[in-house]
Amino acid sequence: MSNINKPNKFLPTTKKEMQERGWDELDVILITGDAYIDSPFMGIAVVGRILEDIGLRVGIIGQPDVNSDVDVKRLGEPKLFWGVSGGSIDSMVSNYTATKKFRNSDDYTPGGQNNKRPDRATLVYTNLIRRYFKNTVPIVLGGIEASLRRLTHYDYWTNKLRKPILFDTKADYMVYGMGEQAIIDLGNYLKEGKDPRTIRGLCYIAKEAPTEESFLEIPSHDECLKDKEKYIDLFKAFYDNNDPIYSKGLYQEVDGRFLIQNPPSRHMEEEEMDKIASYPYQRDAHPYNAKDGKVKCLETIKFSIMTHHGCWGECNFCAIAAHQGRTIRTRSEKNILAEAKHFTTMKDFKGIISDVGGPTANMYGYECVKKINLGTCVENKRCVDAHRLCRTMKVDHSRNIKLLKDIRAVPGIKKAFVASGVRYDLITADKKHGYEYLKEMVDHHISGQMKVAPEHTNDEVLHHMGKPGKQTLIDFKAMYDRLNKESGKQQFLTYYLIAAHPGCEEKHMHELKQFTTHELKMNPEQAQVFTPTPGTYSAVMYYTELDPFTKKKIFVEKDQRRKEKQKEIVVAKNQFAGKNKKTSSSGMQG
């Protein structure tokens, strides 16, 4: 049954709201590095609604003051557990650029000034709880910041390997990955007084190693510190054991104790995805936070629709595969259309849906049958790599095309944009429906420009990135230009480009510049300097200076000045004399 039109309120963030519900205490208090925004795009809100749905009394504290007890104490002490998240974005990525300069703005903070999210927010918030609540109920970590740091990991900001985050924070448990089923199990187990350490998708610290055959020992923290190849072995085990169908649990020795990672929790089925998407989210910032100013991210997410979770693109610099998983889980068309119709009942909706998509917009509606039944392939076999798409992955945009057409047909919907990233290689690979899908996009779902992410064009660099070759981009651009001409539109491509990725030298950036000038006929205005983030193969390359698949030496640029120079090569404006300077495309800002 859909809850989309069910009247409700924000989850409480003040004592007054608790009293209005007749509550004198809460079962769970969730703390986040973002303002409290009640939206299906905000992990902490989704967790709160899931726990509410199983009958728990839940409160949320967004961006607490870490220098006093005012915020952390304002809801009292929970009966069952504290939940701690660094926020929707890793706090270090949110606070610093790729060249380690502090960011002045924060799209998840009211007023937009970056003055409320501490560095290493998960660690800081856990310490805040411990400081003011002695011998309290369990503290449970969640969210992308914790999830990607659950084992020994490379930390770019200190340039060293750090211990699993449970050892740094001294929290009791961690829910890793998307965690929908794990958080349901955890809430029920603690409510019933059961030991949660058997829950799939959970990490904890133990004095002894597990003896079950369903667990795999991985290199210890000390071994990783002494031998970079051991760290590569650890990361491969981390990366390959994220599939709920076949993955084993992992255990790692750290200073005489053990980090235990239980096998992953199962993925949500379509009906469950629909239910979670249909909770009565208020789709706004809580008034307690909103009084401090507008929250910029709401401009994008308030009237957007998430169609699916997961991504099998496996770009080596991206953590989505490790956090969300490599199997696509979709919502039903009926449920998505109900959400679109609900928008039209909201007083501030102007008829524009900002985005219909997911981690990769055009992965909606199809999956590899083998993967669904047996799980993701192992031993470095990927659905798509720099050379080809796996023959068992049958790309089919037909269901996505119909969904977009049906959304456009909803009375009150003027425009439904697809702002999420699109894999252009999947469009060219779909010989039956790729052209039709792109035509649908060109005619109805983009606003002046379409975002694509070639990142680079040199084959060696693309290999280290896990991206398709440049010929695919050339073929796609020709198709895109032809469709715009047929439609009588002047719409352009925006290219995401990366400088200083492992394996990339200045000569490769000069090649990229030549390609953008002569093949793409444009001047990139921006490019992103590579950031080594936890949970990615590219970060492993950066730290070890080895190709993790062959363990052969590769070049890695680590000098900040020369990283910036690589970026400057491709954005230089004096090398292009084309006619369309005003429409030149740009990449992500570093």
Secondary structure (DSSP) of 445-463: I-SSEEEEEEE---HHHHH
Contacting residues for 472 by C-beta, under 8 A, at least 6 apart: 424, 425, 428
Beta pairing class for 58-62 and 202-206? unpaired
Q: How many CB atoms lie within 10 A of CB 479?
A: 18
Residue 87 dihedral angles phi and psi, to the nearest 5°: 120, -175
How far apart CA 42 and CA 173 sit, in angstroms, is 21
For 56, residues 6+ apart whose C-beta sits below 8 A from its C-beta are: 27, 28, 80, 187, 191
Helix, strand, coil % in the chain, rounded to nearest 5: 35, 15, 50
Nearest to 257 by CA among 223, 224, 226, 220: 220
Asked whether residue 318 is marked as a ligand-binding residue, the answer is yes
Angle 43-53/180-191 helices, nearest 10 degrees?
A: 40
Yes or no: say if 291 and 16 are a contact pair by the CB < 8 Å rule.
no
Q: Return the SS3 of 306.
A: strand
Nearest alpha carbon to residue 62 among 76, 54, 74, 49: 74
Is 383 annotated as belonging to a binding site? no
Residue 311, annotated as binding a ligand = yes
161's enclosing H/E stretch is: strand 160-162
Give the Cα separation of 221 and 240 in Å (integer).
19
DSSP letter assigned to residue 443: I
How is 243-279 classified by DSSP, letter by letter?
A: -TTTPPEEEEEETTEEEEEPPPPPPPPHHHHHHHHTS
Residue listed under structure tokens 């007890």: 69
Rg, the chain, Cα only: 24
Contacts 24+ apart (CB under 8 A), 571-574: 571/523, 571/524, 571/525, 571/526, 571/527, 572/513, 573/523
Reduced to 3 states (helix: H, G, I; strand: E, B; else coil), residue 214 is coil
SS3 per residue for 481-516: HHHHHHHCCCCEEEEEEEECCCCCCHHHHHHHHHHH
Both ends of the chain: CA-CA distance in Å? 44
Of 523, 529, 528, the closest CA to residue 573 belongs to: 523
143 phi-psi bin (left φ>0, alpha ψ -120 to 50, beta other): left
CB atoms within 10 A of CB 352: 13
Question: 3-class SS at 285?
Answer: strand
CA torsion 160-315-564-86 (nearest 10°) is: -50
- Binding positions for [4Fe-4S] cluster are 311, 315, 318
- Binding positions are 311, 315, 318
